[in-house]
Amino acid sequence: MLPRLPEWQTRAACKGRVDLDFIEPKSPAEDAQCRALCAGCPVREQCLASALATGEAWGLWGGLDAEERLRLAERDGHELPAVLPAHGTNPRYAKHGCRCDLCRTAHTDYERTRRALRRRRAEPEPEPIMLAEPVRIGRTWAGAGQLLLPLPGVPRPREAEFGELVASAA
């Protein structure tokens, strides 16, 4: 069973206003709209008090944003808002369970990078090619027995063909 909302939340002016994002208003205009609603809200005091009591770190509560609440908390000795990683970061998704679009995207990017790194680490180190005979590389010559590292992404030639390949390209 879902926990019941505190009684005051059932009288909130923002109830059902899914068109407004009180956690992260997307524009100054949206922020102003939210604050205007809070200004006329019948449960503004309870809303602010609850955010101060729990150290809520995000969003508009009782018409005050996190920074304004932090100042109030410092001045009046309330619990300081917890410092959470910002939205749009993997820690906010993984450690704090946020599933907003920004955090989902950050998590997807993080996982993609992690998998790519792991694949790269799993690849064997390129083995150097030992030249069987001297070859010209551009303007210089590399002697027989010299070790060369293959270029990443370039198919490794068989030693016997290596001299011809470089010589014909020069």
Interface residue with Zn ion among 48, 70, 103, 135 (CB under 5 A) is 103
Q: How far apart are CA 34 and CA 19, in angstroms?
A: 10
38 annotated as belonging to a binding site for a ligand: yes
41 annotated as belonging to a binding site for a ligand: yes
Contacts of 131 (CB under 8 A, 6+ apart): 142, 143, 144, 145, 146, 147, 148, 159, 162, 163
Q: How far apart are CA 50 and CA 116, in angstroms?
A: 44
- The CB-of-117 to ligand SF4 minimum distance in angstroms stands at 42
78 binds Zn ion (CB under 5 A): no
Closest CA to 54 of 78, 83, 22, 24: 78
Closest CA to 57 of 23, 29, 32, 31: 23
- The CB-of-11 to ligand SF4 minimum distance in angstroms stands at 8
Q: How far apart are CA 46 and CA 54, in angstroms?
A: 12
Q: Restricting to residues 104-133, which ones interact with Zn ion according to CB under 5 A? A: none
CB under 5 to 8 A by kind: which of ligand SF4, Zn ion, none does 14 bind?
A: ligand SF4
Interface residue with Zn ion among 20, 87, 91, 110 (CB under 5 A) is 87
Binding site for ligand SF4 (CB under 6 A): 12-14, 22, 37-38, 41, 43-44, 47, 60-63
Q: Which is nearer to ligand SF4, 63 or 91 (CB)?
A: 63
Please check whether residue 29 is in contact with residue 50, taking contact to mean a CB–CB distance below 8 angstroms: no
At which residue do the structure tokens 């102003």 appear?
32
Interface residue with Zn ion among 94, 100, 137, 166 (CB under 5 A) is 100
Please check whether residue 138 is in contact with residue 156, taking contact to mean a CB–CB distance below 8 angstroms: no
Residues near Zn ion (CB under 5 A): 87, 98, 100, 103
Residues making up the binding site for [4Fe-4S] cluster: 14, 38, 41, 47
User: Would you list which residues are annotated within the binding site?
Assistant: 14, 38, 41, 47
